Structure 1
């Protein structure tokens, strides 16, 4: 009988220790640092990509959307499905989280969360793409207080910065708005461009394979490393951040070698579909943050609802 009680007590102690350990691991997981350099690339068939991004603490997401009926942008493959919208699955939970945290997605967030909305779909005529942007613009204005914006050429950071891709003339659409809540994506060719200033194109975003041939399986060639460092420095000197995506498909070890080189060169954002591997890598090898113009205020301002921008007598309302 005494042996039975001892065994039972020992099992209870082991169970209690396991419970405490599990709780500690869960708490440590919840308190993981915000990975501003980590950017998730949602797969076309992923209809709810945001929870995994939150879980892994990544600081950005590229999500493909297709314009559909009822003034909505839809996620996922096939015909638009009710409820599978950008508004419901991405924008609403994203900004609800920011409001619940006093204007930040995480306590240690220092730069905006980077949401890239990629307009996709087989219909590519100008009217459809214009309608897609108008839908996005209207939905973003519902969350104006938490968004990075640009007012008459003067950018101001917010909890979330939205960029738009997939529209050929998106720069013209954005430049026509005196007050806007979205930005265009750029390339290294935009460095020094007066027609694409950093207030319109704040981030350079290129696939790795556009300028580099190294696949991570062997040591990086010295000339490619020099080119990478030089291009990142030039972008920073021009007031722009840099995101690199489109890494070679291959073993995670090879991609991790490329991630390491990107971090060492000062690349601000590394984008990959391998969210889990990228998050683990960035926690072990943090990327030094470039001190640009996009840093959030020391204290976030909590607002219950967005404040409408005051009208100006001399403002011309131009169509977009």
Structure 2
């Protein structure tokens, strides 16, 4: 009896992960802090997650702080390997019928050394990860974007290159191609005073609209970190067209996005 019940529960969880409705604008901030890194986000339909990494020896370990690292929590075991298995199972997609999945990797240790190790690691996942080589962008089930300590020149000069750069609002108006800098992220509190309660002031709403418009005009996507997890905040970000809505509350954002009226294209 016990064996049958265990098999049923495991099998149901696996199926649920595959048939979750994709929420292409849902981004799991500090995803690795959840009970089941990556898997909880996938079960809620999230199409973007964030993993912080440290280079320790030749291993890429996932943690928010150095004193929290554990040898078994590698980038491969928590993210790259399960994503590869998922893509193989779903015909080359993480979520069937959805846009490529974003893996935002926040480098916490030395920028150049960590990226060099990461680039070698990603090359062994060329069947999974989108890359740029010989002037051509080759799509993949997963698109990797580097945040945190970013060795911009090293990343830009890499060939083949298996990751893009997470830009900042100050990078708008530059000449960096979109395949190299597909995403613009910034600290909400550096640009806005509204804290997600009540109504956003009109001048801040207009500032947000302009940030989104400028980013989209350049063919990039936009995200803010440090946004409070409130339905009012999610609605403002959603209505303004922010592409990646940052959250630590997976169930809350999933419920909001699933229940809101469909946005016009």
1:137 deviates by 0.9
1:199 deviates by 2.2
How many matched pairs?
Answer: 251
Hey, what does 2:129 align to over in structure 1? 147
1:218 deviates by 1.8
SS in 1 for 2:227: coil
1:150 deviates by 1.7
Q: How does 1:92-131 map to 2 (within 5 A)?
A: 92-109=81-98, 111-121=99-109, 124=110, 129-131=111-113
Hey, what does 2:199 align to over in structure 1? 219
1:269 paired residue among 217, 241, 244: 244
SS in 2 for 1:107: coil
Report the RMSD for the aligned CA atoms in angstroms.
Answer: 2.5
Hey, what does 1:284 align to over in structure 2? 259
Alpha-carbon separation, structure 1, partners of 2:21 and 2:231: 19
1:173 deviates by 0.8
1:29 deviates by 8.2
2:140 paired residue among 154, 158, 169: 158
Q: Residues 43 and 178 (structure 1 numbering): CA distance in 2 closer, same or farther, change over 3 Å? A: closer
1:48 deviates by 4.7
Q: Residues 287 and 133 (structure 1 numbering): CA distance in 2 closer, same or farther, change over 3 Å? A: farther
Q: Residues 44 and 145 (structure 1 numbering): CA distance in 2 closer, same or farther, change over 3 Å? A: closer
1:172 deviates by 0.5
Alpha-carbon separation, structure 1, partners of 2:41 and 2:156: 31
Are the counterparts in 1 of residues 62 and 69 from structure 2 also a CA contact under 8 Å? yes
1:289 deviates by 8.2
TM-score w.r.t. the length of structure 2 is 0.85
Q: How does 1:220-239 map to 2 (within 5 A)?
A: 220-239=200-219
- CA-to-aligned-CA distance 1:216-270 (integer Å, 9 cap, x gap): 212111111111112111111111111122113xxx5xx2111111111111110
1:81 paired residue among 43, 64, 70: 70
2:79 paired residue among 90, 110, 118: 90
Q: Residues 289 and 181 (structure 1 numbering): CA distance in 2 closer, same or farther, change over 3 Å? A: farther
1:28 deviates by 7.8
Consecutive unaligned residues of structure 1, counting only runs of 5 or more, are: 1-23, 291-320
Does 2:59 match 1:72? yes
Are the counterparts in 2 of residues 42 and 49 from structure 1 also a CA contact under 8 Å? no
Hey, what does 1:133 align to over in structure 2? 115
Consecutive unaligned residues of structure 2, counting only runs of 5 or more, are: 1-11
